[in-house]
Structure 1
Amino acid sequence: MDSSQSRLRMLILTALCTAIICILAQITIPLPLVPITGQTLAIGIVATILGSKYGTLASLLYLILGAVGIPVFSGFSGGLGVIVGPTGGFIFGFIPTAFIIGYYLEKTSFTVINAIIANIIGMLVTLTIGTVYLKIVANLTWTAAFLGGFAPFIIVGVVKGVLAAWLGIVVRNRLNSANLLYA
């Protein structure tokens, strides 16, 4: 298969993974300040499957779809209002998170253990960026921002990181076996 066909397959897979992010984003557990959503789980799965380049692209496409008003963010929301609102930093954080997860795996190896490490690092990146943004946009103290945007999500983030790692590696291995992954 030539490189243009490989690239086309990867772009199609990236689009499908973007759709997975959009779907999993609708799984929401509401909390007062920032809800627990399936978005971070999806970002971890996608970055583990696709690696840094295409995982970042899928995350960026997700952000663009939501920014133009397509209701892909949690709770079937969309538009610039969501991005500039208190939870916007978490959404922006998905882009470096996807890159870091994929890059870590590319520099080590695509194993479950490395994927767990990469996804936990990624969850911390998302939480950090989101918390800093929350502090600024909501005009909170650092303590209030940490208690509202970081602390309640650490345990859930680790659980999602482990789940994303395992699912991502399983799917990646199956795609590799079927000669469908060219990342």
Structure 2
Amino acid sequence: MIVTALFAAVIGILAQITIPLPLVPITGQTLAIGLAATILGARFGTLAVILYLIIGAVGVPVYAEFSGGASVLVGPTGGYLVGFIPTAFLIGFILEKTSFTFKNAMIANSLGMIVTLIFGTVWLKIAADLTWIAALAGGFTPFIIVGLIKAALASWIGVLVRKRLHSAKLLILDQVEITKTY
């Protein structure tokens, strides 16, 4: 529970790293989502994201640019936030079914980035009443290169941190690990 809450806080902190763009800013949130899922796996990575979203929805200013409240979730950028849930699950699921290597993490984080962008772009189109061309131009294409860079960072840092936490016996995430440890 503590590690899950810690990663919810990490997501909120990295969300404040923003590069403003006309419709949707580039933020550190997606990097944090990738880190949470890569380090914690599907279950706890997804729980960290859900906790982060709940904290922001009740009004704590943890979303990008110190925003918060349910209005952000239903606003033009809400799809990206909601898309973090399946993104975290997908990244963790892929890694749990394969292995926590940089290559697998890069594949998982890249697919996760695409999931977030799809959710965000569809939501942006509907919430902002844009054409598909405008929604793709403002909510998808500007984020591909930056998203791949963040996917690589989340993969590299996430796998490294996960290995170190495991070797130090500081990260126990499932019953199999608990049985092996005790």
With the length of structure 1 as denominator, give the TM-score of the two structures: 0.93
Map 1:157-176 to 2 at 5 A.
157-176=147-166
1:137 maps to amino acid: A
Shift of 1:31: 0.5
Q: 1:99 corresponds to which residue?
A: 89
Map 1:7-86 to 2 at 5 A.
11-86=1-76
Paired residues in the alignment total 173
**Residue 123 in 1 paired to residue 113 in 2?**
yes
1:53 maps to amino acid: R
RMSD: 0.6
Map 1:126-141 to 2 at 5 A.
126-141=116-131
Q: 2:176 corresponds to which residue?
A: none
1:147 maps to amino acid: A
- Is the partner of 2:34 in helix, strand or coil? helix
Q: 2:167 corresponds to which residue?
A: 177
**Residue 148 in 1 paired to residue 112 in 2?**
no
Aligned-partner Cα distance in 2 for 1:50–1:169: 10
With the length of structure 2 as denominator, give the TM-score of the two structures: 0.94
Aligned-partner Cα distance in 2 for 1:39–1:17: 11
Shift of 1:156: 0.5
Aligned-partner Cα distance in 1 for 2:45–2:6: 11
- Over the matched positions of the two proteins, sequence identity in percent amounts to 68
Unaligned runs of 5+ residues in structure 2 are 174-182
Aligned-partner Cα distance in 2 for 1:74–1:127: 16
1:37 maps to amino acid: T
